[in-house]
Amino acid sequence: MKHISLLGATGSIGTQTLDVIRKHPEHFTLESMSVGKNIELALQQVHEFIPALLSVQTKEDYDKLIHKVPNKTRVVFGTEGLEEVATAPKSDILVNAVLGSVGLSPTLAAIKAGKTIAIANKETLVTAGHIVTEEARRYNVSLIPVDSEHSAIFQALNGENIKEVDRLILTASGGSFRERSRDELEGVTVREALNHPNWSMGAKITIDSATMMNKGLEVIEAHWLFNIPYEQIDVVLHKESIIHSMVEYIDGSVIAQLGTPDMRVPIQYALTYPKRFESITNERLHLWEIGLLHFTKLDMERFRCIKFAYEAGKVGGTMPTVLNAANEIAVACFLEGRLSFLEIEHVIEQALESHTVIKKPTLEEIIKVDAETRAFIHSTIK
Ligand SMILES: NC(=O)C1=CN([C@@H]2O[C@H](COP(=O)(O)OP(=O)(O)OC[C@H]3O[C@@H](n4cnc5c(N)ncnc54)[C@H](OP(=O)(O)O)[C@@H]3O)[C@@H](O)[C@H]2O)C=CC1
Ligand SMILES: CC(=O)[C@@H](O)[C@H](O)COP(=O)(O)O
Ligand SMILES: [Mn+2]
C-alpha cells in the first residue's frame, strides 16, 4: 500500500489523482492533502478519503471548515501547512499538483524529508530548477514527471543511455488560437481562450497553452528534469495531442509515446512506476479512427512566449524566475479581465527586459526576485 500526499487536491490534476486512488484502493491511500479556496469540494474529499492531514490556504479558510472535518483529520494552513502535507511522516510519495511557484517550498521540504515526488507543478521547476534538482540529487530523491510530455519522454528514455540522446522533441497542440493569425488575436475573449481543443485543464494552464507559454515552461521543465541542454530540446506542433512527445537518439531512431489525451494515465504511471496498472479509462487508442496525425514547424514570431522561454532558459539564473512570476500575474490579470490577450506577452517582455540577472541565485534571491517581478507587473497594469 502506497501512502500518498497530494498538494492541490481540488484542482484538475488533484481531482484526477483522486480518481486514480479511487480506482486502486488496494494499492493507494490518501495520507495528506492540501487545497486552496474550494472549501466545499475539500469537505467532500476529506469525508470520502479521511486523510490524516488537510491544509487550507488561510486562517480564514481554516475557521470556515475546522468544525466540519472528520475527527481523524488534523487541519493546518498557509505555507507551513503545505510543507506539513508534503512531509507527512507516513507518506511514500508526494503528488505536487498545486498551481504556481507556491509549490516551491513544499517541494524542497519533501526532498529534505526524502519523499519521492510526482511533479505536475512545472512552475516550481521553472522558477528554481537548479535548486530543486541539486537538492534532489543531494537527498537522492526521484522527481517523476506527471506533465504529459515529460511523462512521454521519461517513458521513451526507459532503459536507454541518456548520453545517446540527440534531441527531445516536445509536441504542442497550439492551444485555443492555433488557427488564428497574430492579427486575429486582437480582442479575443477569456471564454475563447479557455476553450482548449484537446485537454480539459485548469484555467491558468489553458491560457498558457493558448499563448504557448505552456510549451515554453515545458522546455525549461524538460531541461531540468532530464539534464539536457536547450539546444537539444525542440518543439513541434501536433494538433491531435496523440503523440505526447518523443526522444531522438544519435542513430536517428525516434521513440514516441502515444495515447488518448487523458491525464489520469501519466498521473497513474507516476504513482505505479516502474510498474503499470490497469488504467482507469477503458478508452483505447484506435489510430484507424483518427486517420491522420499532423505536424507543423513552430513559428516563434507567432508564438512569442516560447521564444522568451528559450531565451530566459539559456540565460539562466533568475531569468526563468522572472519569466514565471511575470506570466503567473499576467495570466491572472487576463482571467480577471484587466489585461488583453496580447498584453500578456507584452508585460512579460517588459519584465524580462528590465531585469538584471543574478547568475546562480540562492533560494532567498529567487523568492525576492519572484516577489519583485509580481509587484512590477502589477505596477505596469494599474
Ligand atoms: N491540468 C492539467 O491537465 C495539467 C496541469 N499541469 C500542471 O499542474 C499544476 C496544477 O494545474 P491544474 O490542476 O490545471 O490547476 P488548477 O487550477 O485546476 O488547480 C490548482 C490547485 O492548486 C490550489 N491552489 C492554487 N493556488 C494556491 C495557493 N496559493 N495556495 C494553495 N493552494 C493553491 C487550488 O486550490 P483551490 O482550487 O481549492 O483554490 C487547486 O487545488 C500546474 O502547475 C499545471 O501547469 C501539468 C500538466 C497537465
Ligand atoms: C496535458 C498537458 O500536459 C498539458 O501541458 C498539455 O500538454 C497542454 O497542451 P499544449 O500546451 O500542447 O496545448
Ligand atoms: Mn504538458
Residue positions in the annotated binding site for NADPH?
A: 10-13, 36-38, 121, 123, 202
Task: State the span(s) of the chain assigned CATH 3.40.50.720.
Answer: 2-141
* The total number of residues written for the chain in this structure: 382
| Pairing mode of beta strands 243-249, 165-172 | antiparallel
What does the CA dihedral 96, 243, 181, 346 come to, rounded to 10 degrees?
30
Secondary structure (DSSP) of 232-279: GEEEEE-TT--EEEEEEETTS-EEEEE--S-THHHHHHHHHTTS----
Distance from the alpha carbon of residue 201 to the mean position of ligand 2, in angstroms? 9
Look-up: residue for cell 501547512? 81
ipTM: 0.99
Residue positions in the annotated binding site for 1-deoxy-D-xylulose 5-phosphate?
A: 122, 148-149, 173, 196, 209, 214-215, 218
Distance from the alpha carbon of residue 379 to the mean position of ligand 3, in angstroms? 31
Residue nearest atom 2 in ligand 2 by C-alpha distance = 148
Q: Which secondary-structure segment (H or E) carries 368? A: helix 363-381
CB 23 within 8 A of CB 111: no
Alpha helix segments (H runs only) across 66-212: 78-86, 104-112, 122-138, 148-156, 190-193, 203-211
- Nearest to 38, CA basis, from 192, 194, 203, 197: 203
Class of domain 2-141: alpha beta
**Per-residue confidence (pLDDT) for residue 289, from 0 to 100:** 94
Ligand showing the shortest atom-to-Cα distance for residue 177:
2
Residue nearest atom 40 in ligand 1 by C-alpha distance = 11
Distance from the alpha carbon of residue 301 to the mean position of ligand 1, in angstroms? 29
For ion ligand 3, residues whose CB falls within 5 Å: 147-149
Which atom, in ligand 2's list, is nearest to the CA of 218?
5
Ligand showing the shortest atom-to-Cα distance for residue 105:
1
Q: Is 122 in the pocket of ligand 1 (CB under 6 A)?
A: yes
Q: Is 35 in the pocket of ligand 1 (CB under 6 A)?
A: yes
Which atom, in ligand 2's list, is nearest to the CA of 215?
11
**Per-residue confidence (pLDDT) for residue 107, from 0 to 100:** 98
Residue nearest atom 1 in ligand 1 by C-alpha distance = 201
Distance from the alpha carbon of residue 365 to the mean position of ligand 2, in angstroms? 30
Which atom, in ligand 1's list, is nearest to the CA of 120?
8
Residue positions in the annotated binding site for Mn(2+)?
A: 147, 149, 218
Q: Which secondary-structure segment (H or E) carries 64? A: helix 59-65
**Per-residue confidence (pLDDT) for residue 365, from 0 to 100:** 98
Distance from the alpha carbon of residue 158 to the mean position of ligand 3, in angstroms? 19
Task: State the span(s) of the chain assigned CATH 1.10.1740.10.
Answer: 316-382
Q: Which CATH architecture has domain 316-382?
A: Orthogonal Bundle (1.10)
Distance from the alpha carbon of residue 294 to the mean position of ligand 2, in angstroms? 16
Which residues, given as ranges, of the chain have pLDDT below 50?
Answer: none
Instruction: Copy the grid coordinates of residue 369.
Output: 526576485
**Per-residue confidence (pLDDT) for residue 123, from 0 to 100:** 98
Ligand showing the shortest atom-to-Cα distance for residue 103:
1
Q: Is 101 in the pocket of ligand 1 (CB under 6 A)?
A: no
